[in-house]
Amino acid sequence: MPRAIEPDSHERHRSVPIKETITRIPGYPRKLVIFKIPASSYWWVRYYAESHIFKRTTKTEIKRDALEAAKRFYDDITIRIRGGNFEGLPIKVNAAEVVTFAKATKMLMDSELAKLKRSQLSKISYENMQLRYDKHILPFFGQTDVLSINYKMLDEFLQKLSNQVPKLSVSTLGAYMGLTRKVLQHAARHSFIQHIPEFPKVGIEDKPRGWFNVGEYKEITKVAKKLAGKKVEWRAHSEETKGSYFCEPGGKLGPADRLIKRIEMTKDLADLIVFMVNSYIRPTDIRNMQHKHVEIIRREWTYLRLSLPPSKGHTFPITTMPWAVKVYERIRRRQVLELGRDIHPEDYVFMPDAASRDNAMKLLARQFEIVLEVTGLKLSTAGETRTLYSLRHSSIMFRLMFGRTVDTLTLARNARTSPEMIDRFYAAPLQGEMNVGELQSKRRPRPWE
């Protein structure tokens, strides 16, 4: 009989625990230990129970994380021993493997990518999430075991964010902490952690968006109609500190200024401005709106019923103001002439010929920026920046100012938001003088008075 070949003594030595690294886990059986071996830079975990030696690498070089991995390893073995299932490598392959924050983030982003493919998440939202994870969150938490993340570590992260230069706003700090919580919630759903640690409070900073008063709304509408069909040049100043500017072709060019791009102004923009102010919708609704989502209602009241894809978790149909009907009918007539065919339900209402819906929104946003530049209305009198979203804000403000007996709940439902959001953001600029008629109105006298 051939003699069994014994393992090389050198190889055996490389797998023997380094004595000074053997560490017991406080509060757990003495036979549960972590240790290092010459053959690996990782910590290992070992536990002796039921005449079996269970051993596995933790796949981490951080002792604190190895201690947490050992606890997870112990829990898994204990559960299986109680169930009588521990013969022949019964434990999970990854029972002692550290689940890092980076790994949990990757799993979360895979899930978010699936939402993007199902059109449940916009591309820009997905990209913004990834950008923020890569910029600050992963560099801080990346290789940390999710089990090791506690209030102290979260507070350290918040303090680090608070000391960034340039300074981050309170709302941006809240967004970063919210994305951090999102990863830990995902880890909890996959049983990598038992509970989500307490988070430090960031605070709330309400920043209402700029809106347009009636005079300003008329001005941007007039300029958008005037520029429709024309090309505008986007130029850069010779000095970088001065930024860029817009002007009509043939306008005076500085000696060292350069052309960035020529932008064609479309009729869609003028229609978009009026449509948004009369329909309460968000810019994301414009992105997704197809003719199949729009129904003209002519009864006692004339309006559009907009049964749009869900936005911000809301699915209620939106009822528009009467003027939105006129704008929509004008859009349909123009598209029939331009397309040379009947409109299909799947055709988009705004910028149907754009290369993509992202491209459509970029073109509209750029055109709107040009109109604001030309009119000098890029900032409100309070210094608030105005964007396409300001048209929705204006729509809600006009109803609060000029609507009769419109309760906040009805307005919020129709605008696909909540009464709280109406009060905190949209109605923030509302002052008593804007509704002096309502303040000074009197009840009708009762017969017995």
On the question of pLDDT at 89 being above 60, the answer is no
Rounded CA-CA distance 425/397 in Å is 10
User: Over the stretch 316-371, which tens digit does the pLDDT of each residue have?
Assistant: 899 999 999 999 999 999 999 987 888 999 999 999 989 999 899 999 999 999 99
Same-domain pairing of 219 and 168 = no
- What residue numbers bound the domain in which 370 lies? 214-230+265-435
* Residue 388 is assigned to a structural domain of this protein: yes
Number of domains in the chain: 3
* DSSP 8-state secondary structure symbol assigned to residue 162: H
| pLDDT at residue 132 in the model | 95
pLDDT exceeding 90 applies to what percent of the chain?
39
Rounded CA-CA distance 288/444 in Å is 47
* Residue 353 is assigned to a structural domain of this protein: yes
Same-domain pairing of 39 and 134 = no
Same-domain pairing of 368 and 399 = yes
DSSP letters, 392-417, are: HHHHHHHHHHH-SS--HHHHHHHTTS
Rounded CA-CA distance 209/198 in Å is 31
In the β-sheet with 244-247, what is the strand arrangement from edge to edge? 244-247, 231-236, 258-264
Q: Domain of 139: which CATH number? A: 1.10.150
Average pLDDT of the residues of the chain: 82
User: Over the stretch 201-225, which tens digit does the pLDDT of each residue have?
Assistant: 887 655 666 889 999 999 999 999 9
Q: Is 267 exposed, middle or buried (0-12, 13-18, 19+ CB in 10 A)?
A: middle
* Residue 65 is assigned to a structural domain of this protein: yes
Same-domain pairing of 59 and 139 = no
Same-domain pairing of 344 and 378 = yes
User: Over the stretch 131-172, which tens digit does the pLDDT of each residue have?
Assistant: 999 999 999 998 888 877 889 899 999 999 999 988 888 888
* Residue 360 is assigned to a structural domain of this protein: yes
Q: Which residue blocks in 118-252 are alpha helix, DSSP H?
A: 123-132, 138-141, 151-162, 170-189, 214-227
* Residue 207 is assigned to a structural domain of this protein: no
On the question of pLDDT at 443 being above 70, the answer is no
Same-domain pairing of 156 and 226 = no
* Residue 147 is assigned to a structural domain of this protein: yes
Rounded CA-CA distance 270/220 in Å is 8
Q: Which of 82, 111, 144 is the last residue of a domain?
A: 82
Handedness of CA 330, 334, 337, 340 (dihedral sign): negative
Same-domain pairing of 63 and 125 = no
CA-to-CA separations, 181 to 101, 116, 137, 146, in angstroms, rounded: 11, 20, 11, 11
On the question of pLDDT at 302 being above 90, the answer is yes
| pLDDT at residue 291 in the model | 96
Same-domain pairing of 173 and 312 = no
Same-domain pairing of 357 and 397 = yes
On the question of pLDDT at 72 being above 80, the answer is yes
DSSP letters, 308-362, are: PPPBTTB---EE--HHHHHHHHHHHHHHHHHHTSPPPTTSBSS-TTSSSHHHHHH
Q: Which of 29, 49, 82 is the last residue of a domain?
A: 82
Same-domain pairing of 221 and 366 = yes
* Residue 156 is assigned to a structural domain of this protein: yes
Residue type, 350: F
| pLDDT at residue 433 in the model | 40
Same-domain pairing of 132 and 185 = yes
Q: Which of 82, 114, 135 is the last residue of a domain?
A: 82
On the question of pLDDT at 436 being above 90, the answer is no
* Residue 3 is assigned to a structural domain of this protein: no
Same-domain pairing of 51 and 118 = no
On the question of pLDDT at 94 being above 70, the answer is no
On the question of pLDDT at 88 being above 50, the answer is no
